Structure 1
Amino acid sequence: MIYYNEYEKVTYYEHIPTNIYEDASTASAEVAEEIATLIRQRNKEDKHTVLGLATGSTPTEVYAELVRLHKEEGLTFKNVITFNLDEYYPLDPHSLQSYVRFMNEHLFNHIDIPEDQVHIPDGTLDEKEVPEYCRKYEQKIREAGGIDIQLLGIGRTGHIGFNEPGSRPNSRTRMITLDRITRKDAASDFFGEEYVPRRAITMGVGTIMDSDRIILMAWGEGKAPIIREAVEGNIREQVPATYLQEHENASVILDEAAAEKLTRQRTPWVLTTCDWDDQLIRRAVVWLCQKVDKPVLKLTDEDYNEHGMGDLLTEYGPAYDINIKIFNDLQHTITGWPGGKPDADDTHRPERAKPFPKRALIFSPHPDDDVISMGGTLIRLVEHGHEVHVGYQTSGNIAVFDDDVIRFVDFVSDYNDIFDIDQSEAEDMLKNVKKFMQEKEPGQIDSYEIKHVKGLIRRGEAKAAGRYCGIPEEHLHFLNMPFYETGRVKKKPLSQEDVDITVALLREVEPHQIYAAGDLSDPHGTHRVCLKAIFLALEECKDDDWIDDCKVWLYRGAWQEWDINEIEMAVPLSPEELTKKRKAIFKHQSQKDRPLFPGADEREFWQRSEERNRGTAQLYDALGFAEYEAIEGFVEYKGNGQIK
């Protein structure tokens, strides 16, 4: 991996200073420390510090660290003045989605900043008042002396603040109309795209550019494509973040996942001499095959030399030797026996032959991730006679439409009437549920009863899918991890109780194989939290007798797919097996046709999954391997505890 050595060479294509950190927590701590250092310096000089603040998931760890510095190290915010970037319009400040509420919950309620030094655009104004309000917002920034440090996130459209594509570099605080993609990305927060406000009040690009220091942060694979455009692309109105390239003191702060499409991370060999290891060689050769449209065994010395890989050729060549090594490495990833093939030489197989059969524990963050992401492999494990367990980590209740609740409530009510069942308490509950649903406001948190009904709907669907796949009901474990149970998209922090629940299941099953979701582009963060719980639980179990004989495989599929150079176990699926997988996904009827939270991909989950599985098979085919209908890919977790 290339980081900071030969910096000028490796950052050749980058038009703005960019720092890459191992993870978001480390990066956030660095940003918070820069802010804290400035505050301390200004406090000594009896001067104000003026901060421009952002909302969304990106800055939350920065705010958490600032709160910690205040409570544990005495950092005072009494001389700090803040200006937030934006707010939806119209929107009440007490609503769940309000940035006023967000800032209070994540920062202001936990520090000693005076209330009159906090400024957030007002989403309750009469429309006629907005232009004058925006003018005064700008004036207040100037009167405060200008913004010292401006924090930014970045949207999929490349927006900064709510400056959508087409925003001018000299624009100021104003009312804007939100881009369709921005509204779609916000749909989960508002429990449906139709409830997302169409407009917002935002600082302008010019306002942001007047700041003395600008820090744009981005975490996760989902931000990687737009980060490449913002950092390496040309300055253009269609990607407002590219304007930051002209600021003399702006930086981009990334974790490794958000940086993965930058040239220095994706193809460092085109920039500088690399320290070649097996993983980098494999990645480079797969890239070269795709670049010259050749299978692995047809690559030539000229192909390597002409595409920046001459040093690889010099060190490990000729091309024939490199090609054979990589071909064999990729060939050995392909197996029709994900649980291991009994009585077979497993020297070059991704899984051990023994023990057979194995106990396999599949962790599913939501009640349908197991069949969406690895349904073919799951069915194969069952058919091969392995003892398969599924741990559904969360209830998935917020992803159920209200109409489904009414339908199930009506069913119970009609059932009681038909069979003349005397259940007065149940009938009262049913009446209360219906009344609540009729009076429910958009985005309002469900009552306990409704959350429970929605959870039961998801549970019933998971059981139906499990039965279809041949898993005994007693091997389906519903963990209902507490961090998820807020009734909102925003969850509670992972707690020891969540980890304890995971540890208990691991020790009950004592698996030989664990499968866990590694597709961390899940826009709501549930996958990331669930994976962290598994890692922490495995650490607690590290001295257990069973742990040394257990492999951990990470799957993807619902939100992204592994790159072919990363895959360590590739399980081919026939057309019939792909159809079985699709039918298992269809058992999750509440997520069929139109999921409540589809994310950036408008396709149904089964469509996404099939196209990704077929795409992986086509890539293997193009590299010169057997032609399969579809392939599910897995990467082995080596136990370093890091979520990249």
Structure 2
Amino acid sequence: MQNVALPIKTRLNLLEETRFEKLPVSVYPNKDVASVQVAKRIAALIRSKQETGEPAVLGLATGATPVGVYEELVRLHREEGLSFRNVVTFNLDEYFPMPPTAPQSYVTFMNENLFDHIDIQRENIHIPDGTLAVEDVAAFCLNYEQQIEEYGGLDLQVLGIGRTGHVGFNEPGSAPNSGTRLVTLDDLTRRDASRDFGGKENVPTKAITMGIGTIFKAREIILMAWSGKKASIIKKAVEGDVSGEVPATYLQLADNVEFVLDEDAAAELTRFDTPWLVKDCVWDELLIKKAVIWLSNELGKPILKLTEEDYNNNGMAQLATERGPAYNINIHIFNKIQHTITGWPGGKPGADDSQRPERALPEKKRTLIFSPHPDDDVISMGGTFIRLIDQGHDVHVAYQTSGNTAVWDDDVLRYMEFAIDFEGSLGKDTRQLQSIYEDMRGFIQQKQPNQTDTQEIRNVKSFIRKSEAIAGARYAGLPDSHIHFQALPFYESGKTSKYPVTDRDIELTIELLQQVKPHQVFVAGDFADPNGTHIVCFNIVTEALRRLQQTEAWVQDCWVWMYRGAWHEFKPYEIEMAVPLSPQEVIRKRNAIFKHQSQKDSPVFPGDDLREFWVRAEHRNRETAQQYDKLGLANYEAMEAFVRWRF
């Protein structure tokens, strides 16, 4: 990051703002913009080397992070004539053992995302060999280093970062002078890769990786990170102490490194998370609320006990001066948080709603809950779901996808055996069912990791999830006529990777919205699910509403509430509606979740949190209630939190 062209005052302000950051960081609005900028820099390097007749030696990374960069490089090749004939590449790593033709191999990844679409000479491509005998790995690694040196070293090394802080596959404990070598993968790294391999048990335990010492020799290093999933590790890498426990912190010692982030990945850096600690702020309502809650938590004091001295000693003197005295700020924020609490998520009839999160009118609302998977409704907002029905609202639930990839194969056989026995007990001919069952059993016995199920198996898995969803919604009090199964086409690939969203997905959603004409819509705002289904489903609903907004008046009176809980929870300052649950309501919610038996004990996609879904949900709901209690508000058993999405 070059600041020398900026005026002295601007540079000083920037230095103060970034004083916690121990290396240069550039932040872009989103990963698409950032990827284009990185690709431009790579293209400029390639062209400058072409002018001098030299090779451009690139160190390349794999994974989701650099995909956008590679897409832009391919576009530059096709549309702007960027040639790669002078480019030599060395990839960071490869799983071991790993055949190059395997779908999970980095050879396959690089071919599909870059090499097959440009004019690079194949002899200039170098990727660690995952097919070597173990006794040959050391010699291969030494030769890999020698080849890099023979080309004069890497001109530019592109990196991602794992959630353990690894770069390449240099896991915690790696030495700063390490070279290319065989390593053992961290359990979290294998869990992150499990989706691609059809389960963690299928992920290789080892990999060949360039070492940190090798990476350090590059003349330029760009580390990229996107999404909130990387925010916490980015904060450690950028602002933490240099430590082998977070290998990316070694990059603080490099003179030629830059971190390129999107806003979500940068969100926990001090200048974005607690900006009052590094600069004067423009104090809008949300920032004041965030700062006061932070101060209360930092000092372990209820909001109404915070003093002028507390503000002055913790970077918030500007706020106290501009908006004070401190006690007035405390009262204001306390009241704002208190007004988020409501036992009437559909609005309280006959009440003054000027300080309530939901409108009083109409007293009986049509409510449509969108659930990406067949259990997200009860896991994330089961208490509110039940409360809305109990309070007489016209509630509908829409299960956006079949969820059929998240059912164990054993369950398929168990349900088929039940169906055969049931048909037989009625005196019916079961030979066709038996034949289908035998085909299923034979397929499952020979099934390879991540292999797509047969259509019959996928159907049974869909039926299992559907029957569980119906049971959960019925338990909540919903009539069958208000339970909708959309089976959106984008999901029905039979794989963890889904089809692209099309207009058909949006049209099906528009049709349901037109049928219900809801006053309230609840959508999943928890985008950390391992398959990315939540964000896709959210975008489908919001796009459908945007289109309807142009032509249908009722949309203007439709409020959209986002829920979380299956994977993460909203931060306290974000919450706009908090629905308290009694101990009895917590039990009712738990029982609704229990109806989803295929997801109990050990779900197919547990993510990082190995607790059962009902345990996660209860803990998060209790933590939200405890947070409100610590701030000095009422002490409830549990709370479900919501944030309003606005057009």
TM-score range, shorter chain: over 0.9
The residue that corresponds to 2:103 in the other structure is 96
Kept in 1, the 8 Å contact 2:420–2:430? The answer is: no
The residue that corresponds to 1:555 in the other structure is 563
| 2:363 equivalent to 1:360 | no
| 2:642 equivalent to 1:605 | no
Partners of 2:23 and 2:33 in 1: CA distance? 21
The residue that corresponds to 1:412 in the other structure is 419
Q: Give the 3 Å change call, closer, same or farther, for CA 144–564 of structure 1 in structure 2.
A: same
- The CA deviation at 1:240 is 0.4
| 2:593 equivalent to 1:592 | no
Structure 1, unmatched stretches of 5+, are 640-644
Q: Give the 3 Å change call, closer, same or farther, for CA 532–84 of structure 1 in structure 2.
A: farther
Partners of 1:104 and 1:463 in 2: CA distance? 44
- With 262-271 and 383-392 compared, the bigger mean Cα shift is at 383-392
Q: Give the 3 Å change call, closer, same or farther, for CA 513–248 of structure 1 in structure 2.
A: same
The residue that corresponds to 2:134 in the other structure is 127
The residue that corresponds to 1:642 in the other structure is none
- The CA deviation at 1:336 is 0.8
Kept in 2, the 8 Å contact 1:365–1:392? The answer is: yes
The residue that corresponds to 2:489 in the other structure is 482
Paired residues, what number?
637
- The CA deviation at 1:292 is 1.4
Question: What is the identity, as a one-letter code, of the residue corresponding to 1:28?
Answer: S
599, 617, 628: which one pairs with 1:620? 628
The residue that corresponds to 2:279 in the other structure is 272
- With 311-320 and 259-268 compared, the bigger mean Cα shift is at 259-268
1:379-417 superposed Cα distances (whole Å, 9 cap, x missing partner): 111111212222222222221111111212222232333
Question: What is the identity, as a one-letter code, of the residue corresponding to 1:354?
Answer: L
Partners of 1:71 and 1:459 in 2: CA distance? 46
- With 164-173 and 403-412 compared, the bigger mean Cα shift is at 403-412
Partners of 1:440 and 1:398 in 2: CA distance? 14
- The CA deviation at 1:4 is 9.6
- Aligned pairs (5 A) from 1:254-293: 254-293=261-300
The residue that corresponds to 1:457 in the other structure is 464
33, 51, 62: which one pairs with 2:69? 62
Question: What is the identity, as a one-letter code, of the residue corresponding to 1:624?
Answer: G
Partners of 1:67 and 1:343 in 2: CA distance? 61
- The CA deviation at 1:458 is 1.4
| Runs of 4+ that moved beyond 6 A | none
| 2:315 equivalent to 1:308 | yes
- Aligned pairs (5 A) from 1:352-391: 352-391=359-398
Question: In structure 2, the residue corresponding to 1:361 is in which secondary structure?
Answer: strand
The residue that corresponds to 1:573 in the other structure is 581
| 2:455 equivalent to 1:448 | yes
471, 486, 505: which one pairs with 2:512? 505
Question: What is the identity, as a one-letter code, of the residue corresponding to 1:502?
Answer: T
- Aligned pairs (5 A) from 1:209-228: 209-228=216-235
State the TM-score, normalizing by the size of structure 1. 0.95
Question: In structure 1, the residue corresponding to 2:195 is in which secondary structure?
Answer: coil
Question: What is the identity, as a one-letter code, of the residue corresponding to 1:449?
Answer: E
- The CA deviation at 1:505 is 2.4
State the TM-score, normalizing by the size of structure 2. 0.95
- The CA deviation at 1:566 is 0.7
Kept in 1, the 8 Å contact 2:161–2:223? The answer is: yes
- Aligned pairs (5 A) from 1:533-548: 533-543=540-550, 544-548=552-556
Partners of 2:442 and 2:90 in 1: CA distance? 41
Partners of 2:636 and 2:613 in 1: CA distance? 21
The residue that corresponds to 2:304 in the other structure is 297
Question: What is the identity, as a one-letter code, of the residue corresponding to 1:196?
Answer: V
The residue that corresponds to 1:162 in the other structure is 169
Partners of 1:362 and 1:335 in 2: CA distance? 19
- With 265-274 and 517-526 compared, the bigger mean Cα shift is at 517-526
Partners of 2:105 and 2:323 in 1: CA distance? 57
1:131-186 superposed Cα distances (whole Å, 9 cap, x missing partner): 12222222232233322222222112111111111111111111111112222222
- The CA deviation at 1:11 is 0.7
Structure 2, unmatched stretches of 5+, are 1-9
| 2:114 equivalent to 1:107 | yes
Partners of 1:146 and 1:496 in 2: CA distance? 48
Kept in 1, the 8 Å contact 2:59–2:89? The answer is: yes
Question: What is the identity, as a one-letter code, of the residue corresponding to 2:493?
Answer: T
Partners of 2:394 and 2:485 in 1: CA distance? 17
Partners of 1:224 and 1:407 in 2: CA distance? 42
Partners of 1:426 and 1:76 in 2: CA distance? 58
Partners of 1:5 and 1:441 in 2: CA distance? 58
Partners of 1:204 and 1:629 in 2: CA distance? 50
Q: Give the 3 Å change call, closer, same or farther, for CA 447–84 of structure 1 in structure 2.
A: farther
- The CA deviation at 1:593 is 0.6
Q: Percent identity?
A: 57
The residue that corresponds to 1:17 in the other structure is 24
1:508-561 superposed Cα distances (whole Å, 9 cap, x missing partner): 322211111112222332222222222322222221222101111111111111
Question: In structure 1, the residue corresponding to 2:332 is in which secondary structure?
Answer: helix
Q: Give the 3 Å change call, closer, same or farther, for CA 85–333 of structure 1 in structure 2.
A: same
Question: In structure 1, the residue corresponding to 2:378 is in which secondary structure?
Answer: helix
Partners of 2:33 and 2:291 in 1: CA distance? 28
Partners of 1:312 and 1:404 in 2: CA distance? 58
Partners of 1:376 and 1:104 in 2: CA distance? 48
Q: Give the 3 Å change call, closer, same or farther, for CA 190–617 of structure 1 in structure 2.
A: same
The residue that corresponds to 1:431 in the other structure is 438
| 2:178 equivalent to 1:171 | yes
Q: Give the 3 Å change call, closer, same or farther, for CA 458–334 of structure 1 in structure 2.
A: same
391, 394, 401: which one pairs with 1:394? 401
Question: What is the identity, as a one-letter code, of the residue corresponding to 2:624?
Answer: T
1:267-291 superposed Cα distances (whole Å, 9 cap, x missing partner): 1111111111111000000001111
Kept in 1, the 8 Å contact 2:424–2:430? The answer is: no
Question: In structure 2, the residue corresponding to 1:82 is in which secondary structure?
Answer: strand
Q: Give the 3 Å change call, closer, same or farther, for CA 506–48 of structure 1 in structure 2.
A: farther
Question: What is the identity, as a one-letter code, of the residue corresponding to 1:585?
Answer: I
